């Protein structure tokens, strides 16, 4: 095991926040959980935040009822601790509204609003923003000293970094300002109804729907400063030295390109890529015998050669892509071979951990 200060182990010891990014289907959740296992063995009190509702991972981690929005402690080897939770976007957003509301009445008005439910449930970027928000809260939680986040499976992993900004922009929206403009009579609702802009929108999307939106923006009045401050804090944490990013890919070109694109954007923002994990590689099994045997063993020889060739081609193409597309050369790359079974037991997860670190 290498212990130079750029290795994955060094980051597991030194960082406060590890963000796992990558395309869907590369095994991000598995890698995040394996990092958590290793962190616990290194004596850290780690919490893994997962977005993936796969119950099998919960089974693998020894959580019989599945994971919930609150962290639960898992029985794992090591001097440290491993906790896990599954992000519930809407509940987290509700908590944020309650925390920022001037009084319980304002909070209830917002939570009951139809437009708010849409914002919490389907505004693009909300899930990513809530993941970042949760990360920030867990970072301040004295029970944990390492937060490992498995980012939502977005097509573009960058949404995670942009999300706090997206929500801040939404709150700063001109329509919101328009609705909040004081009128001579001080009657905002009349002002709203008189806006030709809104009449036109109402014709397209329906009047009831629009009324909800107007009520939401009105109920939200006074909270936008708190929300914006919170978004700024989250961004600051992600950009600080204690946060590191782990890029997860598979040998498939599109997943590596996604990781490289993300690496480039991180570099622009002076953010640090801790490591690249190329997961689900074709495994290798050692040297073939000098000659192709005759008889029953012949197809076994062919199979070994076929896998070796596939693994070598895959590795060479993936390494070339990584080099060509912007991941700094000194970033540590881990190549994790595919197991012969799916990863949904603690043993299989442990096998991934061993392949990742040994």
Partner 1 sequence: MDPLQFLTTATVAIVAGKGGVGKTTVTAVLARAAIRRGLRVLVIELDGKPTLGRLLPGVEVQQLSATAALAEYLDAHGLSRVTKRLASRGIIDVVATASPGIDDIVVLGKVKQLERSGLYDLLVIDGPAAGHAITFLLAARSLLASVRSGPIHTQASDVADMLADPARCQVVLVSLPETTPVNEAIETAYALEERVGVHLGPVVVNGVDHGPELPSDAADPGSPMRLAADFRNARRLLHRTECDRLAEQLALPQLHLATVAGSRLDADGIERLADAWNLEASP
Q: Note the residues at the interface with partner 1 (CB under 8 A).
A: 23-26, 54, 56, 115, 118-119, 121-124, 153, 155, 169-170, 173-175, 178, 197, 200-201, 203-206, 208-210, 212-213, 250-256, 283, 285-289, 295-297, 299-301, 303-304, 307, 309-310, 313-314, 317-318, 321, 340-342, 344
CB of 78 or CB of 288, closer to partner 1? 288
The β-bridge partners of 292 are none
CB of 10 or CB of 176, closer to partner 1? 176
Shortest gap between Cβ of 357 and partner 1 (angstroms)? 21
CB of 206 or CB of 328, closer to partner 1? 206
Shortest gap between Cβ of 54 and partner 1 (angstroms)? 6
Determine contact, residues 94/120, Cβ cutoff 8 Å. yes
Determine contact, residues 269/324, Cβ cutoff 8 Å. no
CB of 169 or CB of 239, closer to partner 1? 169
Shortest gap between Cβ of 111 and partner 1 (angstroms)? 16
CA distance 3 to 40: 17
CA distance 342 to 216: 45
Q: Compute CA distances 296 → 60, 293, 308, whole Å.
A: 38, 8, 20
CB of 89 or CB of 243, closer to partner 1? 89
Cβ count within 10 A of residue 158: 18
CB of 49 or CB of 215, closer to partner 1? 215
Region label for 205, one of left (φ > 0), alpha (ψ between -120 and 50) or beta (otherwise): alpha
Q: Compute CA distances 138 → 12, 31, 198, 218, whole Å.
A: 16, 20, 40, 31
Nearest CA-CA partner of 235 in 145, 170, 148, 160: 160
CB of 242 or CB of 320, closer to partner 1? 320
Shortest gap between Cβ of 258 and partner 1 (angstroms)? 9
Query: What's the burial of 357, exposed, middle or buried (CB within 10 Å: 0-12/13-18/19+)?
Result: buried
Shortest gap between Cβ of 216 and partner 1 (angstroms)? 9
CB of 28 or CB of 45, closer to partner 1? 28
Shortest gap between Cβ of 206 and partner 1 (angstroms)? 4
CA distance 337 to 321: 18
91 is written with which tokens?
A: 């509940």
What residues have CB less than 8 Å from 201, skipping those under 6 apart? Answer: 210
3-class DSSP assignment, residue 273: strand
Shortest gap between Cβ of 279 and partner 1 (angstroms)? 11
Shortest gap between Cβ of 159 and partner 1 (angstroms)? 13
């Amino acid at each position: 095991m290498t212990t130079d200060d750029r290795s994955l182990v060094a980051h597991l010891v030194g960082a406060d926040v590890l963000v796992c990014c990558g395309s869907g289907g590369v095994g991000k959740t598995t890698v995040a959980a394996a990092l958590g296992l290793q962190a616990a063995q290194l004596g850290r009190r780690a919490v893994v935040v997962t977005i993936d509702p796969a119950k099998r991972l919960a089974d693998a981690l020894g959580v019989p009822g599945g994971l919930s929005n609150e962290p639960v402690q898992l029985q794992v080897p090591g001097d440290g601790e491993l906790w896990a939770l599954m992000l519930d976007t809407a509940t987290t957003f509700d908590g944020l509204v309650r925390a920022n509301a001037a009084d319980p009445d304002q909070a209830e008005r917002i939570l009951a609003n139809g437009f708010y439910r849409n914002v919490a449930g389907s505004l693009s970027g909300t899930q990513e923003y809530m993941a970042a928000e949760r990360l920030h809260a867990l970072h301040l939680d004295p029970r944990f000293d390492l937060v490992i986040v498995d980012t939502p499976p977005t097509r573009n992993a960058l949404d995670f970094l942009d999300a706090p900004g997206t929500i801040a922009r939404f709150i700063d929206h001109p329509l919101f300002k328009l609705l909040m403009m004081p009128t001579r009579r001080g009657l905002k609702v009349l002002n709203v109804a008189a806006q030709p802009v809104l009449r036109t929108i109402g014709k397209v999307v329906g009047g009831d729907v629009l009324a909800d939106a107007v009520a939401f923006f009105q109920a939200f009045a006074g909270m936008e400063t708190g929300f914006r401050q919170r978004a700024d804090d989250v961004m600051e944490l992600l950009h600080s030295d204690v946060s590191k990013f782990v890029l997860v890919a598979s040998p498939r070109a599109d997943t590596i390109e996604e990781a490289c694109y993300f690496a480039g954007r991180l570099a622009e923002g002076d953010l640090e890529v801790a490591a690249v994990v190329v997961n689900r590689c074709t495994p290798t099994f050692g040297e073939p015998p000098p000659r192709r045997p005759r008889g029953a063993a012949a197809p076994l020889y062919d199979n070994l050669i076929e896998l070796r060739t596939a693994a070598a081609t895959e590795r060479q193409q993936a390494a070339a892509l990584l080099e060509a597309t912007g991941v700094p050369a000194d970033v540590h790359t881990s190549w994790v071979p595919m197991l012969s079974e799916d990863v949904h037991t603690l043993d299989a997860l442990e096998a991934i951990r061993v392949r990742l670190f040994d």
